[in-house]
Amino acid sequence: MFSANDCITNSWFLSITTAVIIFCNLCYAFEENNGSFPEGFFFGASTSAYQIEGAWNIDGKGENIWDHFIHENPMRIVNNDNADVACDSYHKYKEDVFLAASLGFSAYRISISWTRILPSGYMGIVNEVGLKYYEDLIDEIVKYNMKAVVTLYHFDLPQQLQKDFGGWTNPKLIDIFVDYSRIVIERLEKVDYWITLNEPKVICNYGYGSGEIAPGLKYQEFECAKVVIMSHAAVYRMYKNEFPNRKAKMAINLDCEWFEPKTTSSKDIAAAQRILEFEIGIFAHPIFKGGWPKAVKERMEKRRLMENSAISQLPKLTEKEIEFINGTFDFLGVNHYVTQYAEDDSENNVGRKRNEINAGVLVTVDPPWNKNSLGSTVAMWGARNVFKWLKETYNNPEIFICEYGYSDNGTTLEDNERIRFSRMYLSAFHDAIYKDEVRIFGAMTWSLLDNFEWTSGYSSHFGLFTSIKMILTKRGFRRSQHSFSRS
C-alpha cells in the first residue's frame, strides 16, 4: 500500500533503479526506465460504483443486475461474498476522495449507479437523492483540484431493463440509455472526462456470451456488441448536440489485452491480429474507422458455413448505422492488464472458451510470466505493444489509460509486488509515449481501494488502500505502519 510519502508526481519515477527482465521463451527484453512523464500528465486512481458504494437498497436506489445475480446465486461468488456494503463509499466518499488526493493524484475516476438515479432504469421517477450524492462527490473531487472522470455505465444495468427487455441485446436500450445519460450529464456540470461505457467486451462476452457474470446469459454477445456500440454513439451524439458549451471530453473505455503470435508463422501472426480485432476492433473499428473489422466479418462468415447456419451471428450494420457510430470519440479510454499468446486454431469450432472459438484462436501463456491473483498474465513488453498497435491501427488517437493494476490475495500489507508491477507498467507506458510516440495523456490505476472484485468477491485485492475491517475480520492481520488503512 502507498504511504503518505509516496506522493506521485511527474518525476516520481526518477528513483527507480534500472532492471532488465528477460522473458525466456522468445527472449523479449523489457527495460524498466527512470524518465519523467510529460508536463500535465494525469496520474490517478479508478473505482466503480458497484464495487465500492454498498448501500444497495438505500435512499431509493433500485435493484440492478448484479444485486439480482448475487442475491439469487450467492454461490457464484467466491466465499458467497456480496457488495451490499462493499467499501461503504456511499457513506464514506469524502474519505475516499481525501485518500486519492493524499497521494498527489490529479485525476479520480468514479462511475454512476444507474438505479440510484432512475430506480427502474426508465424515465419516470428521478431520484433526487441519487443525483445529489454524485453532485456532492464530484464537488469533493474538484475541491482537491483533481479531474473528475465519470463513467456512465460500469456493468450495473437496472434489473427492470434486463427483465422487461433482455438488457443489452435489445435495441430499445439505446434510447433508454440516452435518456438516463442526459439526466446525469445535465446535472453533473463539473465533470472533466465522460466515459460512456466501461469494457463492452466484458459486458457482452461474459454477461451475454459465456454467462459467467451478470446477467448470466449465453450466446448473444454479438447482438449485445451492436446495441452497446450504438448506445455509445447515441449518447456521444446527444452530448455534442444538446450540450455544445460543455468542455468535458467523452469516449468509450475498452479493455485492451495484448496478444502476441505464438510463433513467427504467418498463421499465428494472422491469429493474433484476428483475436485483437475480435476483442478490441469489434468496438474500436466502428468508432475510429467505420463498420465491423474485416477479419471479424470474414471469420464469422466462416463460422456460419462451419455451423451450416442460414444467418451469421454477427448482426449487420447498415450504412446509416456505420455513419452514425463513426467518429464518436474525443479520445480513447484504455484498460490494460493482460498479455497472452495467440495460436491459429481456425478449423476448430468447439471446446475452449467462447471468445477463442469465435476468433478461431488458441490462447496460451508462458509459465514463467508474472501472474496476478486472478491468474492473469502480465508481460511489460505486451503493455507497450498494445499501445503501439492502437496508435497504428486507429490513426494515433489521444489515449487516457483508465485502468491498469495488480491484484494479490491480501495476505500481506507490504505492497512490494504492487509497487514492482506499478513501476513496470508505468515504464511500459513511458516507453509507449517517448519511444513509440503514442499520445497517452494520463494513467489511472485500478484501484483506490480493495473492493468487490465481481465473481472473485473480496478474495483478490487491487487496492492502494485496504479496509482494516476486512483485514481484521477475514484474515486477522494488523495494520502495517507502511500502509494506509481505512476504518
Q: Which is nearer to ligand BGC, 133 or 406 (CB)?
A: 406
Q: Which is nearer to ligand BGC, 176 or 203 (CB)?
A: 203
Q: Which is nearer to ligand BGC, 83 or 118 (CB)?
A: 83
State the cell numbers at 234.
447515441
319 carries an active-site annotation: no
453 carries an active-site annotation: no
Strands 399-403 and 332-335 turn out to be: parallel
Among 113, 181, 198, 340, which residue sits at the site for ligand BGC (rule: CB under 6 A)? 198
> Which residues in the 106-135 window bind ligand BGC by CB under 6 A?
none
Which residues in 211-236 are b (16+ Cβ under 10 Å) and which e?
ebbbbbbeebbbbbbbbbbbbbbbbb
> Which residues in the 390-419 window bind ligand BGC by CB under 6 A?
403
**Closest distance between ligand BGC and the C-beta of residue 212, in Å?**
12
Among 48, 113, 328, 485, which residue sits at the site for ligand BGC (rule: CB under 6 A)? 48
Q: Which is nearer to ligand BGC, 48 or 345 (CB)?
A: 48
1 to 31, 95, 100, 150, 463: CA distances (angstroms): 24, 16, 12, 25, 8
> Which residues in the 332-351 window bind ligand BGC by CB under 6 A?
335
> Which residues in the 240-269 window bind ligand BGC by CB under 6 A?
255
**What residues form DSSP beta bridges with 158?**
64
**Closest distance between ligand BGC and the C-beta of residue 113, in Å?**
13
**Strand runs labelled E in 317-470:** 332-335, 339-344, 361-364, 370-371, 377-378, 399-403, 440-446, 466-467
Give yes or no for residue 53 binding ligand BGC (CB under 6 A): no
Q: Do residues 386 and 436 make contact, with C-beta atoms less than 8 angstroms apart?
A: no
Q: Which is nearer to ligand BGC, 66 or 180 (CB)?
A: 66
Query: Which one from 199, 223, 260, 356 is the annotated catalytic residue?
Result: 199
**Closest distance between ligand BGC and the C-beta of residue 447, in Å?**
7
**Closest distance between ligand BGC and the C-beta of residue 255, in Å?**
6
Give yes or no for residue 199 binding ligand BGC (CB under 6 A): yes
Helical pair 266-276 and 294-306, crossing angle rounded to 10 deg: 100
**Closest distance between ligand BGC and the C-beta of residue 64, in Å?**
14
Q: Which is nearer to ligand BGC, 239 or 446 (CB)?
A: 446
> Can you tell me whether residue 108 is helix, strand or coil?
strand
Q: Which is nearer to ligand BGC, 200 or 261 (CB)?
A: 200
Instruction: With contacts defined by CB under 6 A, name the span among 69-77, 114-122, 196-204, 419-427 that binds ligand BGC.
Output: 196-204
**Closest distance between ligand BGC and the C-beta of residue 202, in Å?**
6
Backbone angles phi, psi at 347, to 5 degrees: -85, -10
The alpha carbons of the chain give a radius of gyration, in whole angstroms, of 21
Instruction: With contacts defined by CB under 6 A, name the span among 68-76, 102-110, 197-205, 290-298 that binds ligand BGC.
Output: 197-205
Q: Which is nearer to ligand BGC, 270 or 365 (CB)?
A: 365
Give yes or no for residue 356 binding ligand BGC (CB under 6 A): no
Among 87, 137, 185, 202, which residue sits at the site for ligand BGC (rule: CB under 6 A)? 202
CA separation for the pair 108, 147 (Å, rounded): 6
**Closest distance between ligand BGC and the C-beta of residue 459, in Å?**
12
Number of residues binding to ligand BGC, judged by CB under 6 A: 11
Among 140, 205, 453, 463, which residue sits at the site for ligand BGC (rule: CB under 6 A)? 453
**Closest distance between ligand BGC and the C-beta of residue 337, in Å?**
6
**Helix %, strand %, coil % of the chain (to 5):** 45, 15, 40
H helix intervals, 260-368: 266-276, 282-288, 294-306, 319-325, 354-359
35 to 3, 14, 41, 389: CA distances (angstroms): 22, 6, 13, 22
Taking residues 429 to 448 in sequence order and writing x for each that binds ligand BGC by CB under 6 A, - otherwise, the string is -----------------x--
Backbone angles phi, psi at 314, to 5 degrees: -85, 110
**Closest distance between ligand BGC and the C-beta of residue 317, in Å?**
26
Helical pair 221-242 and 172-187, crossing angle rounded to 10 deg: 40
Query: Which one from 32, 277, 403, 453 is the annotated catalytic residue?
Result: 403
CA separation for the pair 90, 279 (Å, rounded): 33
Q: Which is nearer to ligand BGC, 156 or 277 (CB)?
A: 156
> What sign has the CA pseudo-torsion 355, 357, 359, 361?
positive
**115: closest CA among 98, 104, 127?**
127
For the annotated catalytic residues, the residue numbers are 199, 403
Residues that bind ligand BGC (CB under 6 A): 48, 51, 198-199, 202, 255, 335, 403, 446, 453, 462
